């Protein structure tokens, strides 16, 4: 009888090879005089648990509080809950802040038949800030004993509230407050514009704190010869008056209360009004968004 072959192996040898291959994954050492036990391999669960316990847990980051973030970064984000005065606000987290370097006139000034200056300033601040998110920036780390925190406030657009308040004439720059010199210069420029255009408090002859002709600024640097007490004391440095551009011919007042100074290009009664702003930008606004156009 002849045996058929597949390749070079006899058919019987191939069958034996396949049976051993299938049993190999479960094979354990043979016991003496007995068959090979087919027992599945067991996982070492105790060893795995020990290895997992050896891995240190990932710490859960704890968010910083508002005060901690101000101390670390000098800025934090918040939302205006209420307007107490035109330079005094209540944040949603319960912290009270006031605009750094801004003095608000005390008298309820008013021209006949018009709202008082304080009412006008309060309404301006409410329109700009009520329920708005802001970036709160401090010049110095806050002190725990401070009931009201002196700050710079920034709108989401990047506009500084301190500067906008001075630009509209609803406050005066306080030269006695130590402020970083470039920022102080920008605040004084804003007040000078309001004085030149007689906006807000500068419409009244009794307004105090005028800068025209006597520009003062807080020096951010102490001289090398200064003693420690002199270096920490505010030192006023007299600077030349800041150049103020001439008044622009038009003021465009939007229905939201925003005032834009510049020049109307073309027909002011057209469906779309083309307007060149004070910084040279050209914008096009639909007529239905405009409340009034003032001509000077």
CATH of the domain at 142: 2.40.50.90
**Domain contains 129:** yes
Give the Cα separation of 129 and 37 in Å (integer).
Answer: 82
Give the Cα separation of 199 and 203 in Å (integer).
Answer: 6
Name 108's Cβ contacts closer than 8 Å, sequence gap at least 6.
116, 117, 118, 119
Distance (Å) of CA 104 to CA 50, 117, 125, 187, 214: 68, 10, 12, 14, 19
pLDDT band at 114 (very low <50, low <70, confident <90, very high): low
Which one is predicted more confidently, 23 or 125?
125
pLDDT value at residue 218: 35
Domain count, the chain: 2
Question: Which of 102-111, 142-151, 157-166 has the least mean pLDDT?
Answer: 102-111
For residues 225-239, give the mean pLDDT.
39
pLDDT value at residue 198: 87
pLDDT band at 78 (very low <50, low <70, confident <90, very high): very high
**Domain contains 86:** yes
Distance (Å) of CA 225 to CA 26, 233, 253, 255: 89, 14, 52, 56
pLDDT band at 56 (very low <50, low <70, confident <90, very high): low
Domain containing residue 274: CATH number: 2.30.30.100
Do 125 and 215 lie in one domain? The reply is yes
pLDDT value at residue 228: 42
Do 206 and 84 lie in one domain? The reply is yes
Q: Of the candidates 193, 217, 239, which is a domain's last residue?
A: 239
**Domain contains 28:** no
* pLDDT above 80 (res 155): yes
**Domain contains 104:** yes
For residues 89-100, give the mean pLDDT.
93
Q: Of the candidates 239, 265, 280, which is a domain's last residue?
A: 239
pLDDT band at 80 (very low <50, low <70, confident <90, very high): very high
Do 136 and 94 lie in one domain? The reply is yes
pLDDT band at 97 (very low <50, low <70, confident <90, very high): very high
Q: Of the candidates 239, 259, 287, which is a domain's last residue?
A: 239
* pLDDT above 80 (res 12): no
Q: What is the pLDDT of residues 253-285, one digit of tens each?
A: 888 777 788 888 888 888 888 888 776 677 878
Do 174 and 138 lie in one domain? The reply is yes
Do 166 and 257 lie in one domain? The reply is no
Do 104 and 232 lie in one domain? The reply is yes
Mean of the per-residue pLDDT values of the chain: 74
Distance (Å) of CA 6 to CA 10, 13, 15: 6, 10, 11
pLDDT band at 219 (very low <50, low <70, confident <90, very high): very low
Question: Which of 18-22, 55-59, 72-76 has the least mean pLDDT?
Answer: 18-22
* pLDDT above 50 (res 134): yes
Domain that holds residue 290: 250-295
Do 217 and 278 lie in one domain? The reply is no
Do 138 and 190 lie in one domain? The reply is yes
Do 231 and 185 lie in one domain? The reply is yes
Do 213 and 257 lie in one domain? The reply is no
pLDDT value at residue 142: 78
Which one is predicted more confidently, 43 or 249?
249
pLDDT value at residue 168: 92
Both tokens of residue 69?
């973030």
* pLDDT above 50 (res 237): no
pLDDT band at 230 (very low <50, low <70, confident <90, very high): very low
Closest CA to 83 of 213, 170, 173, 167: 170
**Domain contains 178:** yes
């Amino acid at each position: 009888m002849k045996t058929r072959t597949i390749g070079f192996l006899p058919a019987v040898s191939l069958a034996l090879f396949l049976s051993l291959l299938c049993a190999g994954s479960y094979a354990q050492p043979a016991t003496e005089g007995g068959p090979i036990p087919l027992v599945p391999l067991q996982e070492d669960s105790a060893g795995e648990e020990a290895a997992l316990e050896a891995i240190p847990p990932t710490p859960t980051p704890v968010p910083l509080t508002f005060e901690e973030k101000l101390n670390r970064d000098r800025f934090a984000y918040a939302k205006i809950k209420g307007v107490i005065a035109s330079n005094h606000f209540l944040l949603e987290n319960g912290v009270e802040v006031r605009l750094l370097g801004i003095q608000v006139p005390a008298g309820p000034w008013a021209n006949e038949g018009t709202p008082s200056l304080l009412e006008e300033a309060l309404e301006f601040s409410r329109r700009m800030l009520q329920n708005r998110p802001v970036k709160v920036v401090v010049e110095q780390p806050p002190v725990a004993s401070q009931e009201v925190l002196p700050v710079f406030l920034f709108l989401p657009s990047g506009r500084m509230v301190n500067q906008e308040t001075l630009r509209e004439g609803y406050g005066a720059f306080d030269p006695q407050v130590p402020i970083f010199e470039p920022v102080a210069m920008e605040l004084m420029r804003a007040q000078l514009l309001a004085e030149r255009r007689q906006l807000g408090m500068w419409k009244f002859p009794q307004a105090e704190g005028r800068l025209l002709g006597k520009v003062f600024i807080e020096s951010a640097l102490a001289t090398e010869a200064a003693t420690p007490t002199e270096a920490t004391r505010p030192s006023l440095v007299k600077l030349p008056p800041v150049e103020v551009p001439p008044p622009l011919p038009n003021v465009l007042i939007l229905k939201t209360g925003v005032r834009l100074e510049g020049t109307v290009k073309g027909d002011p009664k057209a469906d779309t009004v083309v307007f060149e702003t004070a910084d040279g930008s050209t914008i096009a606004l639909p007529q239905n968004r405009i409340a009034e156009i003032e001509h000077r």
